[in-house]
Amino acid sequence: MTAISPAPAAGAADVATLRVTGKQPQADGVLTLELSSPSGGRLRDWTPGAHIDLVLPNGLTRQYSLCGDRRNPGTYRVGVLHEPESRGGSAYVHEQLRVGDLVGVGGPRNNFPLVPSARYLFVAGGIGITPILPMVAQAEQLGADWRLLYGGRRRDSMAFLDELAGYGDRVLVRPEDEFGLLDLPGFVGEPRAGVRIYSCGPAPLLAAMERTCAYWPPYSLRVERFVADDAGAPARTAPFEVELARTGTTVTVTPDVTVLEALNRVGVEVLSSCRSGVCGTCETTVLAGRPDHRDALLDDDERQVGDCMYVCVSRSRDERLVLDL
Amino acid sequence: MTAPARPSSTVPTSDADPFGSEVLEDPLPMHEALREAGPVVLLERYDTFALARYDDVHAALVNWQEFESSAGVGLSNFRYEEPWRPPSILLEADPPRHDAPRRVLQKVLDPRALRRLREDWAADADALVDEVLARGTTFDAAKDLGAVFPLRVFPDAVGIPQPGREKLLPYGDHAFNAFGPANDLVAKGAPRVAELSGWVNEQCRREVLAPTGFGADIWAASDRGEITPEQAPLAVRSLLTAGVDTTVHGISAILYAFATHPDQWQRLRAEPALARVAFDEAVRWESPVQTFFRTATTDVRIGDVVVPEGRKVLMFLAAANRDPRRWADPDRFDLARDPSGHVGFGMGIHQCVGQHVARLEAVSIVTALARRVRSIELDGPTVRHHNNTLRALESVPVRVTLD
């Protein structure tokens, strides 16, 4: 029995602002963060391969793959590598973020979903193991035939080896200082139908995977690229204004309320349902300003377009948003 | 904790039959009795637990970890009983198997994917309203609009051929009856099950579907490996099962609501943009889908009661949608209300994946009607259609005045 309170009327604040409830070293330069709702309620559901946007207290937004147990609805886990050339994301997490701190969370979104198959091959490089970890757990649960090739610089820099040990010889751990470069052709073998290949890791590994799988049937290989430590504008922590184009009304949205709540307070009714950025009912057209998307619906391209937002969770990057309301 | 073999003695009991004709004619008194009896009630007749309060229904809907769907979302427990058809890969599935089909259908039925249908459906709705009003100012809102409009637009959007479409409603009606006990309603549908199922399954084949539409989109996803070719026809079947009767009864419900609340029709006329809110308010108020079951995956405590692992739980969406603990003046159909958060479409990972389609259909027809009709009122007694899961209207005679 879980101890998750029902809290059905939980506001978006409960899923969009989480508390750091755990910070544990996993390997040399790698730690995991555990995040939970301050109210103890359920977090938004996710599927293996999904990531969240973490809005750090210093205003930087970084994306991390979820690597915990989806059956635990109260906790997210992410793995974070301390990157030497970090521009403030991973360095902040490693050096300054503390248990008890609050962080903003967007998503989860999944650009790297595990599609149904009887056979999987997984290839992970370094911190690229994080989205693969829940995938292998799921493949195992489904009784699929699967194998994982996991490379890293040195054994002590490779996270989750203890958790992977339980899978026995399905997992090949190949630190570079012991084995040299990964033998990709040897691992994936000859092209054949009915096998799904998933790979996540540094760009050279993914490029090598694409070469290795060039003659495989279409859609056999799926990869997830690390998102560069982007230098985009920090998320706003200050209030912003929402202008309603049809009525000319302007509403101030303070950090403690959602756009939806702010609209409701001035009598503007926007139909919503899940209030957690999942169902899409409250989609609202954006006429000007850049939304700070916190939903689990829009993919990266749709976010770039920026012509709509889900007002139950998403906010603003600019001082002023103009909505078609 | 230690799990008792039997439910705790404190659980309130009820001898009501949620699937009996008396309750199906008017379920509201039973809903109130169940809500007031406690957070969870044992339905003695079916030896099944029932939830009728908003908070508890909502909590069970979102908690897929402890309340599974793959043992069936009807009374029948698939752990011990053979389903009447191959189980749905959406409704009757749990993560992880549920993930891929859900993701595909969610994308196919996404609000942005429906934009291309908006103008066509508005024109179709105008044309149907003109046809009906050309015959006179008295008509049957359920038979002439509710049961007609979804069948004009939805099968085309899926991409199935014209012949045989009259089988969709009886097929859906049986599928929704089959979630209940093996009563007279199920027996009534049984003789045609093989014929209707055979026809529906045939429409799900790639060769039969139009080259564009929701059906083709689903098959295209299987080409990309997002679902398997074996799953594609079952995903199409889900659209054909869940997408017709529900919208028919949803549209009849909103028209019935307006016919019995003339002031609300005036409000809509003054502010046509309220059509979307009005439909969700009608779904809350009438709850076309009344109930679904789950099965406990572990001993689950609800209030003071422990629902033992493996036992069925009946969630009364309709009772939750009129729970005075959640809704002020819940029996009133009121466009001033914010119906957001109602559970008429469910909630959580199984929440109606076609809800945006349903809203678009309803908004199209209500908007078309509001353009021409100044007032709408009942013109005779309404007739209910009984179904083990659906709250439905067979006949809603109305009289309208035109601009």
Q: What is the pLDDT of residue A226?
A: 67
C-alpha to C-alpha distance for B165 and B173, rounded to whole angstroms: 14
pLDDT, tens digit (0-9, with 9 covering 90-100), for B101-140: 999 999 999 988 899 999 999 999 999 999 999 999 999 9
Please name the residue that has the structure tokens 């959580």.
Answer: B348
Q: How far is CA A310 from CA A106, A260, A295, A316, B277, in A?
A: 12, 9, 7, 11, 16
Nearest to A81 by CA among A205, A224, A202: A202
Cα A36 from Cα A19, distance rounded (Å): 5
Using DSSP's 3-state secondary structure scheme, residue B284 falls into helix
Q: What is the pLDDT along chain A (325 residues), one digit of tens a residue?
A: 433 433 333 445 567 899 999 999 999 999 999 999 999 999 999 999 999 989 898 878 888 999 999 999 999 999 999 987 777 789 999 999 999 999 999 889 998 999 999 999 999 999 999 999 999 999 999 999 999 999 999 999 999 999 999 999 999 999 999 999 999 999 999 999 999 999 999 999 999 999 999 999 999 999 987 654 444 455 677 899 999 998 889 999 998 899 999 999 998 889 998 888 888 899 999 999 999 888 888 887 788 888 999 999 899 989 999 999 9
Class at the top of the CATH hierarchy for domain A119-225: alpha beta
* Domains identified in chain B and CATH numbers: 13-402 (1.10.630.10)
**Which of A271, A274, A280 is opposite residue B347, by nearest beta carbon?**
A274
| Chain B residue whose CA is closest to A222 | B225
Amino acid at B18: P
Q: Which residues contact A151 (CB under 8 A, 6 or more apart)?
A: A123, A124, A125, A126, A174, A175, A176, A181, A182, A201, A205
Q: What is the pLDDT of residue A295?
A: 85
Give the best residue of A279, A303, A307 to mutate against chain B (max B CB count within 10 A): A279
Contacts of A141 in chain B (CB under 8 A): 96
Q: Which residue has the higher pLDDT, A226 or B173?
A: B173
Instruction: Say whether A116 and B300 touch across the interface (CB within 8 A).
Output: no
Contact yes or no for A8 and B62 at CB 8 A: yes
Q: What is the pLDDT of residue A297?
A: 84
ipTM over 0.85: yes
- What burial letters (b/e) apply to B311-342, b meaning 16+ CB within 10 Å? bbbbbbbbbbbbbeebbeebeebbbebebbbb
Fold of A240-323: Ubiquitin-like (UB roll) (3.10.20)
| CATH code, residues A13-108 | 2.40.30.10
User: Which regions of chain A carry the CATH code 3.40.50.80?
Assistant: 119-225
Q: For CATH 2.40.30.10, list the domain ranges present in chain A.
A: 13-108
Interface check for B286 against chain A (CB to CB < 8 A): the answer is no
Interface A-B: count of C-beta contacts within 8 A: 98
- List the single residue in A73, A219, A271 with the smallest CB-CB distance to B280: A271
The more confidently predicted of residues B284 and A257 is B284
Question: CB–CB of A45 and B227 under 8 A?
Answer: no
Tell me the pLDDT tens digit for each residue of B177-220: 999 999 999 999 999 999 999 999 999 999 999 999 999 999 99
Contacts with B298 from chain A: Cβ below 8 Å = 1
Which residues of B fall within a CB distance of 8 Å from A48?
96
- Rounded CA-CA distance B141/B163 in Å is 25
In tens, the pLDDT along A15-33 reads: 789 999 999 999 999 999 9
| A207 vs A215: CA distance, rounded Å | 14
**Mean of the pLDDT values across residues B287-308?**
97
